[in-house]
Amino acid sequence: MTVLGVLVAQNIAFGVIAAIMVFAALRLVTTRNVVHAALFLVVVLGGVAALFLLMGAEFVGITQILVYIGAVVVLFLFGIMLTRTRIGNEEGTDHPRRLPAVLAAALVATITIYAVVTGFGDAELPADTRTTTAEVADSIFSTYIVPFEAVSVLLLAALIGAIVIARRN
C-alpha cells in the first residue's frame, strides 16, 4: 500500500474527500436555497468526520457525526422549516456587494496558507496515529477535568438561555 513511503490509499481518499468538501463548502456559501445550504453543510461535516477517521481520531469522528449531523444540522433544518417553508431559491440571501467579502476571504486564505506552507513545509504525519476511546476518556477525566466541567456548565447555561430566549411571552 505504500509508494516511496507514501500511503497511497489514504492520499487518494483524502483527495476525493477534500474535493467533495471544497465543492460543498463553496455551494454552501453561494446557494440561494437555504435547505440546500443545510444539506451541503451535512456533506462538509461528513467530510470532516471522514478526515478525522483518516487521521485515526475515531471517537472524534463519530462524535462529529452524532452531534453535528445528528443534532446541529437537524436543528438548522428545524429552524428553517419553522420560519419559512418555501421551496426553491429565496430573495435576499446575500448582500448585493460581495467584493469586500471576497477580498477579505482571499486575504485570510492567502495569509494562512502562506503561514502553514512556510511553517511546516513537507512535515509528515506519523503513519499510525490511531487513538482509542479509552485514551480520550482518560485524558478528559484527568488532565482536562476542569474544562470538561466548565463545558458542561456552559451547555446547561446555553440550554436555559435558548429556552428563555425562544419562549413565547
Partner 1 sequence: MIWTLALELAYWQQTAIKLVVVALVIPTGAIILGYVFLMKMMSFMQSRLGPMEAGPYGTLQLLADGVKFLQKEDVFPRRADRYVFALAPVVVLMSTFLLYVVLPVGPDAVVSGLDAGLFFALAAASLSVIGVLMAGWGSANKYALMGGMRAAGQLIAYELPLVLAAIGVVIQAGTLDLNKIVLAQANGELFGWGGMGFPYILTQFVGFAIFLVAVQAELTQPPFDMPVAESEIVGGYQVEYTGFRFLFFFMGEFGTAFAFAGIASVLFLGGWYVPGLDPTSGWFNLIGPFVMFIKIMAVSALIFWFRFTFPRLREDQLQKLAWKVLIPLALLNIVVTGVVKVLV
Partner 2 sequence: MLLNQFLILSAVLFAIGVYGVLARRNGVLVLMSIELILNAVNINLVAFGSYVSSISGEVFALFIITVAAAEVGVGLAILLLLYRNRQSVDLSEADLMKG
Partner 3 sequence: MSLQGVGVLAAEGAAEIVQVGGWFLSNAWIIPAIPAASFFAILFFGKRLPRGGSELGIIAVGASLVLALCTAGQWISTVNGAHGAAVEPVVNRWTWWVAGGVDFTIGTLVDGLAVALLFVVTAISLLVHVYSTDYVAGDVRYTHFFAFLSLFTASMLFFVLAENTIQMIVGWELVGVCSFVLIGHWWEEKPNSDAALKAFLTNRVGDIGLLVGVSVLFFAAGGTFSILEINTRALDGEIGHTLLLISALCLLAAVISKSGQFFLHTWLPDAMAGPTPVSALIHAATMVVAGVYLVARLYGVFFEGMVIAGSSINALALIGGLTTLVGASLAFVQNDIKRVLAYSTISQLGYMVMALGVGAWTAAIFHLFTHAFFKACLFLGSGSVSHAVHSFDMKKDMGGLRRHMPHTYRTFLIASLALAGLPPLAGFWSKDEILAGTGGWGVFGGTGGNGAYTAMLVMGMLTAALTAAYMTRCVYLTFFGRYRGHGHPHESGRRITVPLWILAVFAVGAGWTNLPKGFQIVPKSWTEQFGHYVEPVAAEHFYFPVIAHATPSWTLAIVSILVVLVGGGLAFAYYALVDRRAAAGGSATELADGPTSRWGAARLGHTLLVQKYYLDHLYTGIVAKGTAGPVARGAYWFNQHGIDEVVNQAGRKALAAGHVVYDKIDQKVIDGVVNTTGVASHGAGEELRRMQTGKVQQYAGVMFVASVILAAALILVL
Q: Out of 16, 89, 149, 159, name the contact with partner 2 by CB under 8 A.
A: 159
Among 129, 133, 143, 152, binds partner 1 (CB under 8 A): 133
Tell me phi and psi for residue 104, to 5 degrees: -60, -45
97 scored as a contact of partner 3 (CB under 8 A): no
Q: How far apart are CA 80 and CA 85, in angstroms?
A: 7
Q: Which distant-in-sequence residues (6+ apart) come within 8 Å of 40 by Cβ?
A: 24, 25, 27, 28, 31
For 112-131, b/e burial (b = at least 16 CB within 10 A) is: eeeeeeeeeeeeeeeeeeee
* Residue 5: DSSP 8-state: T
Total residues contacting partner 2 (rule CB under 8 A)? Answer: 86
Residue located via cell numbers 487513538: 131
Cβ 143 to partner 3 shortest distance, Å: 5
Residue 169 interacts with, from partner 2, partner 3, partner 1, none (CB under 5-8 Å by kind): none
Measured between alpha carbons, how far is 54 from 51 in angstroms, rounded to an integer? Answer: 5
Smallest gap from Cβ 107 to partner 2, in A, equals 8
Assess 16 for contact with partner 2 (CB under 8 A): no
In angstroms, the CA 48 to CA 63 distance is 11
Which residues in the 90-149 window bind partner 2 by CB under 8 A?
A: 90, 92-95, 98, 100-102, 104-106, 108-109, 112-113, 116-117, 120-126, 129, 131, 135-136, 139-140, 143-144, 147-148
Residue from 18, 22, 70, 144 that binds partner 3 (CB under 8 A)?
Answer: 144
Q: Which stretch binds partner 3 (CB under 8 A): 51-59, 80-88, 140-148, 157-165?
A: 140-148
